[in-house]
Structure 1
Amino acid sequence: MAASVQQKHDCDDNVEISFENVKKGKSLITKKNFNEGDVLFEERPLVSSQFLWNEFYKYEACEYCLCSLETAENQRRRLTENPALTLPHPECDVTDPSTNVKCPQCQVTYCCPECQKRAWEEYHQTLCMGSSRQDENHPLYKLQEMWRNIHFPPESCSIMLIAKMIALVKQSKNKSAVLEKFSGFVKTTENEDEALVHKMMGEKFQEPLEMLRQQMTETMYDDTIQHWFTPEGFCSLFALVGRNGQGIGSSSISAWVKNCEELALSDEKKEELDLFIDQLYEELEKVSGSFLDCEGSGLYSLQSTCNHSCLPNAEITFPYNNNVMAVVAKEKIPSGQEICISYLSECDLSRSRHSRQNILKENYLFTCDCPKCLSEADEPDVTSDEEDEEEMDEDN
């Protein structure tokens, strides 16, 4: 498409998808002025899934919406390994275990009957393992165990996200409509223009990927989507979830802390509570490190059109302690400006240009030319780790 050709699609009252940028393809543009802190849009995922290791280590999340199912106090006790700890202001914990329901067949837990109903209607009829949920010979159990043996924490995606995509198609009465939704995601495994190949397509992953493909075929095969089960099609599915999957985190403790911040307290009580929360996070980090949340990933149609910048003007949040995403302005954004988020974590954003570029090339197959990267173009091509090693050598 020529650069001069303008093609836009209205998709929300606040934003629209644009195809004007030939190099980037899709981009998301504001349709009105926003101030710092404004919500640009909210979005539910087409599909989402908790990470398998996260579930294995007893992080209890709703199978459908991924909200944390533990009370803040119970979560704190588990993560600090201290069953006697209590939290002040229990009214700030909105987690209500009394609404939880289980699938009557496989006993998978949901936060409410509505989530159970939606899961059953969309994909769970296909994925329900019934009483064989812990049967090591069940094909789906084998698939999950195979994935855990291939992909260790920290996790970035899950084989169950692909399984749910397949189940959505299998159960749908309008399969073409579901396939059309997935067709909008980037799903190439390489960038020929820049000679880049996704890290999951490297030589060391070829044998595990083929094992996963064969097991997925045995477990989930469907004639309607037979192209997804070919070696090339299966790699495309991995590229789709790898390049478009958005990490999701929910935490009853975080929700409790957020609600505590809204309490009307005296300055003395506020200072006392702030100190308690600081000490709480110190205890959590000492025992559980950075693994504090129920973690998973999802596919979001609108969010996937947001391009990356190492100086993003918007950020992704999960304000409801579940998989509903809100994209929030980090600064004033005028009407007609592109919305850019960071594909990198806060920690990775602080690394050297060379380190950031390597992560983006391996995972998203592009070379970043954002203002920050361009301003640092003359920096030496060394990673942040290499820089730290050099500084240690100089100190010694």
Structure 2
Amino acid sequence: MAGYEIRIANCKKGKSLFATKQYEQGDVILEEDPLVSCQFAWNAAYRYLACDHCMRPLETPEQNVRRLSCKPDIVLPHSNCYESNLENVTTCDHCGVLYCCESCKQQAYVIYHRSLCHDISDVQHPVMVLLEAWKQMHYPPETTNILLLVRILAYIQQSPDPTAAAAKIKQFCHRTVNEDAELVHKLLGDQFTDQLNTLRELTANVISGDHIQQFLTPDGFCTLMALIGTNGQGIGTSPLAMWVNNVLELTMSDDERQQLDLFIDKLYQYVEEESGTFLNTEGSGLYQLQSSCNHSCVPNAESSFPYGNHRLQLKALKTIMPGDEICISYLDECSLQRSRHSRQKELAQNYLFVCWCERCSAQSSQPDCTSEEDMSDEEVDADD
């Protein structure tokens, strides 16, 4: 029996996730696969090979670190600490995209791929034209991908009940403006009007039909863009990170542990020198349950991807009592450590709300500009 329920917290928050039983720190609250997910466009362009459906990396930890560090002679010890299962890799019979297994291939075809299958070597195909246009508009670091939006449309189109599927998508928060605070999502500002029109037209060239026509109007397209911007959950998978986590669990002597720690530190140094901090196969997905979790700057739960694919796990960070709202952080660890003003600014741009969680409320007396980053932003705005 589920230990949670979705209900309306208040008119501003909308749907929220609440505990119906007690959870202790480390307890798994839920696991779920997304309705659809997609690797980021530039991430794929930089040769992060992944299953086109579940985003499982399609390289071993050793292959991964060799590519990221450009050191082809690196040999990882304890290679048995990570099961790659690359012998099950398969391809679409028509377009050749890669899948980690036959099951993912079949699921993709049934859910969305039948509508989108195309010759990936044909740069003039509507999907490739759309993808290239998106890449030229949105450089790394990416936060979403136009193909996630396209897969949502294909999911509706291919559903046995397209009307119900469209209604399910509409249940996600898809507002484009927060009227109370006069906030507009950063993807939808006036300066992006021409870009949005271009993307909408190119998307309509990729997929169309009676059941999705409502999402291809100017207003409908904006709501879908806001949906993937506000509800798209970031996904990160890394064979190197999973290998590191697994080897650190091994039993060994203090001397062996010290040598291993030094070796791992050196690996990450090599990778950072060559590839910077972008180590993971990255993308985003649309999760029905997890998307009901609201933000808090003092979250009591967090999402992770322990299986090395797009299956999400939500775990308790502290004791959660029956009736407590289950909250996650929409900000990464670095942003979470910044000032109240900095946090609220990022949340307003990306998620269209002003945060007044217990931490923000307690810090309400802080000045509205406290971080060096925000000072720099204001100086740039003044120069303009």
Partner of residue 168, structure 1: 155
The amino acid that maps onto 2:281 is C
With over 3 angstroms needed to count, the CA separation of the structure-2 counterparts of 1:20 and 1:370, relative to structure 1, is closer
The whole-number CA distance in structure 2 between the counterparts of 1:87 and 1:41 is 34
The whole-number CA distance in structure 2 between the counterparts of 1:218 and 1:389 is 41
The whole-number CA distance in structure 2 between the counterparts of 1:59 and 1:114 is 21
1:55 aligns to what SS in structure 2? helix
The whole-number CA distance in structure 1 between the counterparts of 2:116 and 2:160 is 17
The whole-number CA distance in structure 2 between the counterparts of 1:68 and 1:140 is 23
The whole-number CA distance in structure 2 between the counterparts of 1:224 and 1:295 is 30
Partner of residue 380, structure 2: none
Q: TM-score, normalised by structure 1?
A: 0.92
CA offsets, 1:347-379, max 9 Å, x none?
A: 111111111111111111111001111121111
1:16 aligns to what SS in structure 2? strand
The whole-number CA distance in structure 2 between the counterparts of 1:253 and 1:245 is 25
The amino acid that maps onto 1:158 is N
The whole-number CA distance in structure 1 between the counterparts of 2:139 and 2:91 is 28
Residues 1:262 and 2:249 aligned together: yes
The whole-number CA distance in structure 2 between the counterparts of 1:316 and 1:227 is 32
> Displacement of 1:69 after TM fit?
0.8
Partner of residue 306, structure 2: 319
Partner of residue 220, structure 1: 207
The whole-number CA distance in structure 2 between the counterparts of 1:20 and 1:207 is 37
The whole-number CA distance in structure 2 between the counterparts of 1:205 and 1:127 is 26
Q: Please, which of 116, 120, 128 is the counterpart of residue 141 of structure 1?
A: 128
CA offsets, 1:270-324, max 9 Å, x none?
A: 2222222222222222221110000000000111111101111111111101000
Residues 1:74 and 2:92 aligned together: no
Give the total of aligned pairs: 377
The whole-number CA distance in structure 1 between the counterparts of 2:308 and 2:351 is 27
Point out 4+ residue stretches in structure 1 off by more than 3 angstroms. Answer: 386-390
With over 3 angstroms needed to count, the CA separation of the structure-2 counterparts of 1:102 and 1:86, relative to structure 1, is same
Partner of residue 333, structure 1: 320
> Displacement of 1:386 after TM fit?
4.6
Over aligned residues, Cα RMSD in angstroms? 1.5
> Displacement of 1:31 after TM fit?
1.1
Answer yes or no: is the 8 Å Cα contact 1:188–1:236 preserved in 2.
yes
The whole-number CA distance in structure 2 between the counterparts of 1:175 and 1:223 is 10
CA offsets, 1:16-53, max 9 Å, x none?
A: 11214233111111111111111111111011000010
The whole-number CA distance in structure 2 between the counterparts of 1:91 and 1:177 is 45
The whole-number CA distance in structure 1 between the counterparts of 2:370 and 2:348 is 14
2:10 aligns to what SS in structure 1? coil
Task: Within 5 Å, give how 1:268-279 maps onto structure 2.
Answer: 268-279=255-266
Answer yes or no: is the 8 Å Cα contact 1:184–1:301 preserved in 2.
no
Answer yes or no: is the 8 Å Cα contact 2:340–2:363 preserved in 1.
yes
With over 3 angstroms needed to count, the CA separation of the structure-2 counterparts of 1:383 and 1:297, relative to structure 1, is farther
Partner of residue 218, structure 2: 231
The whole-number CA distance in structure 2 between the counterparts of 1:193 and 1:381 is 19
The whole-number CA distance in structure 2 between the counterparts of 1:219 and 1:324 is 28
Task: Within 5 Å, give how 1:1-396 maps onto structure 2.
Answer: 13-129=2-118, 132-382=119-369, 384-386=371-373
- Structure 2, unaligned runs of 5 or more: 378-384
Answer yes or no: is the 8 Å Cα contact 2:89–2:99 preserved in 1.
yes
Answer yes or no: is the 8 Å Cα contact 1:17–1:305 preserved in 2.
yes
CA offsets, 1:238-291, max 9 Å, x none?
A: 011011000000011111112112222223222222222222222222221110
The whole-number CA distance in structure 2 between the counterparts of 1:56 and 1:108 is 14
The amino acid that maps onto 2:276 is G
The amino acid that maps onto 1:114 is S
Answer yes or no: is the 8 Å Cα contact 1:94–1:256 preserved in 2.
no
With over 3 angstroms needed to count, the CA separation of the structure-2 counterparts of 1:271 and 1:26, relative to structure 1, is same
Answer yes or no: is the 8 Å Cα contact 1:102–1:108 preserved in 2.
yes
> Displacement of 1:194 after TM fit?
1.8
The amino acid that maps onto 2:191 is K
The amino acid that maps onto 1:38 is D
> Displacement of 1:96 after TM fit?
2.1
The amino acid that maps onto 2:229 is G
> Displacement of 1:136 after TM fit?
1.8
Answer yes or no: is the 8 Å Cα contact 1:313–1:340 preserved in 2.
yes
2:175 aligns to what SS in structure 1? coil
The amino acid that maps onto 2:262 is L
Answer yes or no: is the 8 Å Cα contact 1:198–1:239 preserved in 2.
yes
The whole-number CA distance in structure 2 between the counterparts of 1:31 and 1:281 is 42
1:48 aligns to what SS in structure 2? strand
With over 3 angstroms needed to count, the CA separation of the structure-2 counterparts of 1:257 and 1:18, relative to structure 1, is same
The amino acid that maps onto 1:209 is L
Answer yes or no: is the 8 Å Cα contact 1:36–1:332 preserved in 2.
yes
Q: 290-299 or 264-273: which moved more?
A: 264-273
- Structure 1, unaligned runs of 5 or more: 1-11, 391-396
Partner of residue 382, structure 2: none
